[in-house]
Amino acid sequence: MTALRRRILNLVEEVRLPRVAREFRRRDQLGLATVDPGPRAAIEFGIAWLARAQDCSKTKDGGVARHFGLIDGWSASYPETTGYIVATLLDYARKNAGTESIERATKMLDWLVSIQFDEGGFQGGMINQHPKVPVTFNTGQILIGLAAGAHLSPRYRAAMRKAADWLIDTQDDDGCWRRFPTPFADGGEKTYETHVALALFLAHEVEPFLGYQQAGLRQVKWALRNQVTNGWLSSCCLSDPSQPLTHTLGYALRGVVGAHLSSRDQQFLDAACRTANGLLTAIESDGRLPGRLDSNWQSTADWVCLTGSCQIAESFLLLHKEAGNSAYLHAAKALNSYVRRTIFFDGPRDVVGGVKGSFPVGGQYGQWQYLNWACKFMIDANQAELNAG
């Protein structure tokens, strides 16, 4: 694309964008906020934003709206991410005596149980999207919430077992899941389904004698066949495996870390550190991490995927504790600080405490949107930073 054509397209987009989207993009183009409010403020404001996302969901069903869009407003509820948001709310409640967070998580769990398919799986996409078919990845993410909530009610524990059993029943012999892909992403095997394995490790903590850990470890061993010498992972993106999103790299890394934490097997810690060491080379001194990376850990995007930055920060903090590498701690704090400085702590209620898909907001991941899972992972990463001391 020529420079002139790019400039013309940018001008056309500028005219077509709603005024509020143009204003937010201009604010982002001025750069990061000069003041970092710190982890505690980010967590509190993020929890409040998730509550608003639940209350403002277009479908008003107890789930959490997928996003707030600067162009289209609040969306319908998103089962997949509502699932693991449950875990974040319950963790917050344990640390802060947050009864409201327990009540909100319970509403989410009640809704999720009500939409579970008879065989145990869950649909992909937002609740109002079609086709409504069981999907491996989405089921795994909801399983994270069911495992977290299993102590609240036998009903949630039963739903957890049903979902985990379905994942075992639909797993191929080599550990990969191939039969129930999402219709909302490109096809093919997905290395980042280590994050489904993570869900099985969490279910194993609740029900340790049902084969959940073994199934999860089989998948992670399969996934690590896609790891090359420098730690980069192939088949690890929603749309373009040659330049994966840091979001999907973050999913994959967290699953490998989870395999080590569950099994205490050194091979998984070594594998996680290989990927983490590669990611370290891509992080700038201020915590900026490009949103897509090629097989040499080189940037292929001029925007940041804030979700991925948060996910990677959390894994780095876990790895710092396990491997004792201070570089992981410093990088995680830089990543978290970068993301915090993109968050609004005053202004319109629909965006205060939320996390954009991209920075700047016009970037290609979650474009013009505040994503519920970006906020969830921001809270998790900042809580991990507090835990690290």
Q: What is the mean pLDDT of residues 135-164?
A: 98
pLDDT-based confidence at residue 359 (cuts at 50, 70, 90): very high
Coil, helix or strand for 107? helix
Whole-number pLDDT of residue 355: 98
How many Cα atoms within 13 Å fall on the side-chain side of residue 129?
17
Cite the beta strand spans of 43-192 per DSSP E.
67-69, 73-74
203 falls within a domain: no
Same domain, 376 and 235: yes
- The partner residues of 77 in beta bridges, in order of sequence, read 65
- CA–CA separation, 143 and 80 (whole Å): 9
Q: Are residues 236 and 132 in the same domain?
A: no
CATH number for the domain that contains residue 102 = 1.50.10.10
* C-alpha to C-alpha distances, 79 to 89, 102, 376, nearest whole angstrom: 15, 18, 14
Q: How confident is the model at residue 98 (pLDDT cuts 50, 70, 90)?
A: confident
Is 237 found in the same domain as 94?
no
> Does residue 178 sit within a domain?
yes
How confident is the prediction for the chain on average, in pLDDT?
A: 96
Q: Compute the residue count for the chain.
A: 389
- In terms of DSSP H, where are the helices of the chain? 3-16, 19-29, 39-55, 79-96, 99-115, 136-149, 154-169, 194-206, 212-223, 246-263, 266-280, 306-323, 326-340, 372-388
Judged against a pLDDT cut of 60, whether residue 9 lies above it is answered with no
Select the more confidently predicted residue: 103 or 4.
Answer: 103
| Per-residue pLDDT at 377 exceeds 70 | yes
In a domain, 16, yes or no: no
Six token digits for residue 339? 């993301």
- Which residues make beta-bridge pairs with 359? 304
Residues 116 and 66 in one domain: yes
383 and 236: one domain?
A: yes
Predicted TM-score (pTM) of this structure: 0.96
* End residue of a domain, out of 126, 158, 187: 187
Verify that 384 and 236 share a domain, yes or no: yes
- The CA–CA distances, whole Å, from 25 to 93, 177, 339, 365, 368 equal 35, 39, 16, 14, 9
Q: What is the DSSP string of 164-221?
A: HHHHHHT--TTS---SS--TTS--S--GGGHHHHHHHHHHHHHSTTSSHHHHHHHHHH
Domain count, the chain: 2
| 2 has a pLDDT exceeding 80 | no
Same domain, 169 and 231: no
Angle of the 326-340 helix axis to the 306-323 helix axis, nearest 10: 150
Q: Looking at the domain assignment, is residue 18 inside a domain?
A: no
pLDDT value, residue 228 = 98
Residue 309: per-residue pLDDT = 99
pLDDT at position 14 over 80: no
Q: Which helix (H) or strand (E) holds 253?
A: helix 246-263
* Exposure b/e, 241-276, CB count within 10 A at least 16 = b: bebbbbbbbbbbbbbbbbbbbbbeeeebbebbbbbb
pLDDT of residue 8: 56
- The torsion angles phi and psi of 115, rounded to 5 degrees, stand at -110, 5
Q: Show the domain range for 146.
A: 56-187
Give the position of tokens 């080189």: 298
Quote the strand ranges of the chain, DSSP E.
67-69, 73-74, 304-305, 358-359, 369-371
Amino acid occupying residue 161: R
| Amino acid 6: pLDDT | 59
Percent of the chain beyond pLDDT 70? 96
Reported as a single tens digit per residue, the pLDDT across 114-127 is 999 999 999 999 99
Q: Are residues 372 and 239 in the same domain?
A: yes
Q: What is the pLDDT of residues 325-346, one digit of tens each?
A: 999 999 999 999 999 999 999 9
Of 187, 214, 240, the position where a domain reaches its end is 187
> Would you call 124 helix, strand, or coil by DSSP?
coil
Give 389's pLDDT tier (boundaries 50, 70, 90): confident
One domain, residues 236 and 369? yes
Structure tokens at 29: 């183009």
Query: Is 60 exceeded by the pLDDT of residue 1?
Result: no
Is residue 44 one of the residues assigned to a domain? no
* pLDDT score recorded for residue 19: 93
Please tell me whether residues 60 and 152 are part of one structural domain.
Answer: yes
* Residue ending a domain, choose from 187, 204, 239: 187
